[in-house]
Amino acid sequence: MKTLYFDCFSGISGDMAVASLLDLGISTRHLESELRKLGLSKEYRLHFTRGKQQQMAGVKFDVYIHGDEHEHHHHNNHSQQMHSHGRTFADIRRLIERSKLSPFVRQKSVSLFHRLAVAEGKIHGIPVDKVHFHEVGAIDSIVDIVGICILMEALNPQQILASAPCEGHGFVECAHGRFPVPTPATLELLKGIPLRQINIAGELITPTGAAILAEFVEKFGPMSSMVIKKIGYGLGSRSYPNHPNVLRAVWGEVDVIKSASSGTVVDVLETNVDDVSPEILAAAMEKLLAEGARDVFLTPIQMKKGRSATLITVLAEPGDADRLARMLLRETGSFGLRMRRSERICLIRETRKIKTRFGPVEIKIGSQDGAVITAKPEFESCRKLAQKLKKPIRVVWLAAMAECSKILNPISK
């Protein structure tokens, strides 16, 4: 499975993320021509250089704002300021949605900006649409955010993983005043993500960097077994003593069929559909089960704009996941799906025939560490016996339940 792994040993910012992916070999020309579709080219100039940070060579990415040539990339990144001028989240969303950028880039960019605006709005008590990104910061953030989405689409990883990101400590000064590190916006954006602080005075994770992690990364932790193909280094704007301010992007293959002992893990495939008829969903479900899915289930959900939709979940043995994923996409016409590996705890199962007052019935017993935990009648077996005797299924089922109950609660002699 083609995998991108962000090694955030020195945090992450928008420009470092863009630089690290460029260093993996995506052309700067592709990035520039796609960014032109925003119609903002007159406002900025992009600058790519190869450089070094503490003897680590990589790419440095800067945005120069026109009419302000000495303005470098504003990576005190408290660019999200509520100035009376500048662009609001609503303006930026309109700008992106009206552009000729691909649907993936439009959707992901708006989603990243939405995360930033929600965090800022929450901290400063401002409605999301009215959150301002002041001029320099707005161009900066737009280029970084739309840029990272363009590069992600070009790279097209099947999964994105990252190390637990590191943050510094102390305080940062910005237009709002003095903020502790991690800053409120960054901390808000990193909810649900493992974060550790290291002994460096300064801000290592910018809000844009935090939003990128929250939006794209499926799982945080050390690199699991991965065949590494390419490594990119994105150089940051700050230098710290004895600490390279670099983001490392590792590109490679993770073997999905790890030596996972059967039964302890299962691959979960899911996709949301809002345009498929119930008949087709039912047929897709039958086909997936016939093709070896462990289980398939449908959950009613509500998507954006209040649309009713269905979440299709398929549980697959690790070896079958890729084949079933292709089938799920073909059968539903969905444009994508999510895959994740899930651990599971399974009881040891056995089927036994027991005597009831109506005759023999099969029951299923589940045990763990030699102790019986659960026992229940097999419905089909009860049904067949009930049909033969012309009795209600319920009556036979209750008789079988009574026998199960004796197995679960043996009378001590």
Six token digits for residue 308: 């009713």
At 160, is the pLDDT very low, low, confident or very high (cuts 50, 70, 90)?
very high
Identify whether residues 293 and 338 lie together within a single domain.
yes
Six token digits for residue 209: 């960097």
pLDDT of residue 76: 43
Count the domains in the chain: 3
Identify whether residues 73 and 168 lie together within a single domain.
yes
SS3 assignment, position 147: helix
DSSP string, 220-240: ESS--S-EEEEEEEEE-S--B
Domain assignment present for 258: no
Q: Could you give the angle at which helices 135-155 and 28-35 cross, rounded to 10 degrees?
A: 120
Identify whether residues 98 and 206 lie together within a single domain.
yes
Domain assignment present for 159: yes
Domain assignment present for 106: yes
Six token digits for residue 169: 């400590």
pLDDT of residue 135: 56
Identify whether residues 361 and 329 lie together within a single domain.
no
Which domain-ending residue is among 230, 253, 276? 253
SS3 assignment, position 23: helix
Expressed as residue numbers, the domain containing 386 is 348-408
Q: What are phi and psi of 243, to 5 degrees?
A: -150, 110
pTM: 0.63
E strands present in 140-195: 159-162, 166-169, 171-174, 177-180
Dihedral angle of Cα 207, 211, 212, 214, to the nearest 10 degrees? 140
Identify whether residues 29 and 92 lie together within a single domain.
yes
pLDDT of residue 256: 58
Provide mean pLDDT across the span 38-55. 92
Give the span between the Cα atoms of 401 and 408, in whole angstroms. Answer: 10
Mean pLDDT of the chain: 89
CATH number for the domain spanning 277: value is 3.30.70.1380
Q: What share of the chain is helix, strand, coil (3-state, %, to 5)?
A: 35, 35, 30
CB atoms within 10 A of CB 158: 14
Identify whether residues 196 and 286 lie together within a single domain.
no
Q: How many CA atoms lie within 13 A of 301 on its CB side?
A: 16
SS3 assignment, position 187: helix
Asked if the model's pLDDT at residue 102 lies above 50, the reply is: yes
Domain assignment present for 259: no
Domain assignment present for 280: yes
Asked if the model's pLDDT at residue 260 lies above 70, the reply is: no
Give the span between the Cα atoms of 61 and 46, in whole angstroms. Answer: 7
Q: In terms of Cα–Cα distance, which of 69, 72, 182 is closest to 137?
A: 72
Which domain-ending residue is among 226, 253, 280? 253
Provide mean pLDDT across the span 159-166. 95
Asked if the model's pLDDT at residue 71 lies above 60, the reply is: no
Provide mean pLDDT across the span 145-163. 95
pLDDT of residue 152: 97
Identify whether residues 103 and 245 lie together within a single domain.
yes
Give the whole-number percent of the chain exceeding pLDDT 90.
Answer: 70
Q: How far is CA 395 from CA 356, 377, 402, in A?
A: 11, 12, 11
Identify whether residues 195 and 287 lie together within a single domain.
no
Identify whether residues 206 and 336 lie together within a single domain.
no
- In this structure, of 5-19, 178-192, 360-374, the range with the lowest mean pLDDT score is 360-374
Query: Which amino acid, 273?
Result: V
Q: In terms of Cα–Cα distance, which of 94, 63, 93 is closest to 79?
A: 63
Which domain-ending residue is among 343, 358, 379? 343
Identify whether residues 85 and 229 lie together within a single domain.
yes
Domain assignment present for 15: yes
Identify whether residues 46 and 190 lie together within a single domain.
yes
pLDDT of residue 413: 53
pLDDT of residue 173: 87
Asked if the model's pLDDT at residue 86 lies above 50, the reply is: yes
Query: Which amino acid, 221?
Result: G
Domain assignment present for 94: yes
Identify whether residues 326 and 402 lie together within a single domain.
no
Give the span between the Cα atoms of 19 and 61, in whole angstroms. Answer: 5
Six token digits for residue 136: 């320099």
Give the whole-number percent of the chain exceeding pLDDT 70.
Answer: 92
CB atoms within 10 A of CB 178: 8
Give the span between the Cα atoms of 1 and 281, in whole angstroms. Answer: 27
- pLDDT tens string 286-345: 999 999 999 999 999 998 888 899 999 999 988 888 899 999 999 998 888 999 988 888
Give the span between the Cα atoms of 257 and 237, in whole angstroms. Answer: 40
Provide CB contacts within 8 A for 94, sequence distance 6+. none
pLDDT of residue 411: 72
